[in-house]
Amino acid sequence: MTQDPQRTSTLPSGSDIRLPWHLRLPAPLEREFVDYFRSNVARITPWATITLVSILALSVILELTVEPDLVTATWRPRLFCIMLAVATAVVAHRPDLRRWLHPMIILLAFAVAITGMWMGLSIDHPQAFLLFLQTPLAILVLGVLLRVPFLASALSTSAILALQALCTLAPNTLPLSQALTLLLFSLATGTMSLFGQYIYERLLRSHFLSEHVLYQHRAELHSANRVLESQATGDGLTGCLNRRGMESRLNDALHGRSRHAIDNVTVVLFDIDFFKQYNDTYGHLAGDECLKSVAGIPRGMAQGEADFVARYGGEEFLVVLANTSLKDALVFAERMRTRIEQLGLPHAGSRISQVVTISVGVASSLPGEKDVLALIKRADEALYQAKGAGRNCVAFMDELQRVQTL
């Protein structure tokens, strides 16, 4: 029976991570979540601020319509709350100040609640008790309009409800029936607000964990892809690019797809003189060590950001020098030839020297040239000339497409 691939997957998705009832995550994740939560709140803050300011402004308009005398006592506290709401929106808009967003929301909620209680107690009017309805509005600020983390919201809501109980149940303030009605209404609002806040934050934390796990999967996949790409385009023995990687990089350079601005490309093609005889004399393990030693010289010399070294064949290597003139490339090739000879690797099977040497062919790209094979062919022709001239030397294709020996 075929198994469901989703059931056999061992990769967590984030949705299968169980959150504790108190919603707290390990410290590093909790810090990241607070920033994530704050960013979500910052996006809705302008609209929430407009809503709150509209409610406060409509309250003033309603009082002005019903009882104009009330406005003289209520407009200043309402203006103070509006100013705090605008300041909260400014803090949300400024990334450098955003760490103060949650304290500002809590301060705003307390300001709305306390100004409502003060107006309810200080204004002598039959309907003044309605001003205590700013308490549930403050609770909604904490848990619905502008959210703060659940624990801070629960503590702030409890403090606001305690303040209202002290104000409304104190002797000689409100009739007991009104006080209990207001308190029960605020308590119901707080309970529903906290319940909604708890569910919202639990879902938000689950979403955060899912994104966090997905980010880790992406990072692992990117790392694995880089390893695979390196294995597919790199030569495991010498650390150079292999032929496939060389063709890809050289094509990108000639077609302007490289990350670097490249005006021209010069190819330095070389192989080790009498390498078959080296293997026959010293064995293939020694031959591998010889290849690694020889490859290390051009790899250490190629300093340009777009330069690279590739293993073109068995003992044949190709160096690509970007934005390098033919003259400078010839200097590079001669220094490379000299340094490899100075390695002093014994080569008893060589017919020209007692140490390992190389023959080098150099060719530069023509203006507007896009053909990788044509460029390499010219370098190969120069390499053939170097071998014909006795090996252990440098030959090049000049501007007139004539092969010369250095």
Q: Which domain holds residue 307?
A: 243-405
Residue type for 405, please? T
Query: CA-CA distance, 99 to 108, in Å (whole number)?
Result: 16
Please, which pLDDT band fits residue 7 given cuts at 50, 70 and 90? very low
Query: Are 165 and 268 part of one and the same domain?
Result: no
| pLDDT for 1 | 42
Query: Are 163 and 306 part of one and the same domain?
Result: no
Q: Which residue would you say has higher pLDDT here, 4 or 342?
A: 342
Report yes or no on 175 lying in a domain.
Answer: yes
Tell whether the model's pLDDT for residue 406 goes beyond 90. no
- Total number of domains in the chain: 2
Q: What is the mean pLDDT of residues 22-50?
A: 86
Query: Are 210 and 247 part of one and the same domain?
Result: no
Q: What is the pLDDT of residues 207-226, one digit of tens each?
A: 888 777 766 767 677 766 66
| pLDDT for 154 | 93
Query: Are 277 and 184 part of one and the same domain?
Result: no
Query: Are 99 and 139 part of one and the same domain?
Result: yes
CA distances from 290 to 240, 299, 383 (A): 14, 15, 20
Virtual torsion, Cα 63, 67, 72, 76, nearest 10 deg: -10
Q: What is the mean pLDDT of residues 24-46?
A: 86
Question: Strands 403-405, 394-397: parallel, antiparallel or unpaired by DSSP?
Answer: antiparallel
Query: Are 256 and 207 part of one and the same domain?
Result: no
> 6-20, 92-106, 115-129, 313-327: lowest mean pLDDT where?
6-20
Report yes or no on 238 lying in a domain.
Answer: no
Report yes or no on 236 lying in a domain.
Answer: no
Residue type for 24, please? R
Query: Are 270 and 194 part of one and the same domain?
Result: no
Query: Are 112 and 29 part of one and the same domain?
Result: yes
Report yes or no on 223 lying in a domain.
Answer: no
CB 198 within 8 A of CB 150: yes
Query: Are 187 and 268 part of one and the same domain?
Result: no
**Residue that is last in its domain, among 169, 197, 216:** 216
Query: Are 61 and 207 part of one and the same domain?
Result: yes
| pLDDT for 330 | 94
CATH code of the domain in which 321 resides: 3.30.70.270
Residue type for 283, please? G
Q: Which residue would you say has higher pLDDT here, 324 or 25?
A: 324
Q: What is the edge-to-edge ordering of all strands in the sheet holding 308-311?
A: 308-311, 316-322, 265-272, 358-364, 394-397, 403-405
| pLDDT for 14 | 53
Q: What is the pLDDT of residues 319-372, one digit of tens each?
A: 999 888 899 999 999 999 999 999 999 999 999 999 999 999 999 988 888 888
What would you report as the CA-atom Rg of the chain, rounded to the nearest whole angstrom? 39
Query: Are 175 and 263 part of one and the same domain?
Result: no
User: Which residues have a Cβ under 8 Å from the Cβ of 173 and sit 6 or more positions away?
Assistant: 121, 167, 179
**Residue that is last in its domain, among 216, 251, 272:** 216
Q: How large a percentage of the chain has pLDDT more than 70? A: 90
